[in-house]
Amino acid sequence: MVRAGAHLTGIWRKAARFWADRRGVAAIEFAFIAPILLIMYFVTMEASQAIETSKKVSRVGSMVADLVTQQTSVVKADLDAIMKIGTTTLLPYNRSAPNITITAIQVTTDPTPKVLVVWSRKVLNGAYSAGAAVNSVTTVPATLQVAGTFLIRVESGLGYKPILTWSPGDQQKIGLTSAFNNITMGETYYLRPRRGLTITCGDC
């Protein structure tokens, strides 16, 4: 009985020493905290990149509109070159390509003014093509719907791909969920011609 009691006492002493030993606490705490810190770091980094890219998408629209409205006439090659210049504004972001649509709009002088497409050109997924059909009806903000007005509308958009959901082969390797795989960013700008009343397109 004495030996059994001494044995139990020894076990309790070892257990007490183990419980009181704090040498591994820091390592255990780090193991719990490190993943949280890494997640916070990557989320902060991704948020800052997304905000900066969104600003650049807006800049694409304003820059393209500004370049077009400085012309008196254009052709498709001119418009494609201007949109290509706008695309480079997004660099170094290159995980997806922006979509840009340039539309020339005429507000008619009818008693009830109509808003018609004069010509349109777009780049979608890297492919250049005609935009809205000529003479098709479109819309502009009510404040811009002034009879006899000629406008250039530039719509810029981007399906932003977070770095955590992107891979060079365009296959999702890591990331949160597919809901974050393509965040839509976009902006629309309206400007009037700078050097004349209208801007013609010779082959649109």
pLDDT digits (tens, 9 = 90+) for 4-56: 555 556 666 766 666 665 666 666 777 788 888 888 887 788 888 888 999 99
pLDDT for 124: 93
Residue 6, domain member (yes or no)? no
Is residue 159 within 8 A of residue 43, CB to CB? The reply is: no
Round the CA-based radius of gyration of the chain to a whole number and report it. 30
Is residue 80 within 8 A of residue 129, CB to CB? The reply is: no
pLDDT for 119: 97
Confidence band, pLDDT 50/70/90 cuts, at residue 100: very high
Residue 1, domain member (yes or no)? no
Residue 71, domain member (yes or no)? yes
Residue 170 clears pLDDT 60, i.e. is over it = no
What does each C-alpha distance from 8 to 1, 11, 19, 93, 137 come to in angstroms? 11, 5, 16, 67, 92
pLDDT for 96: 87
pLDDT for 161: 83
Residue 45's domain comprises 23-201
Please give the angle made by the CA atoms of 101, 131 and 53, to the nearest 5 degrees.
20
Laid out side by side, the sheet with 99-107 consists of 127-130, 115-124, 99-107, 150-160, 183-191
Number of domains making up the chain: 1
Residue 113 clears pLDDT 50, i.e. is over it = yes
Pairing assessment for the beta strands 115-124 and 127-130 based on DSSP bridges? antiparallel
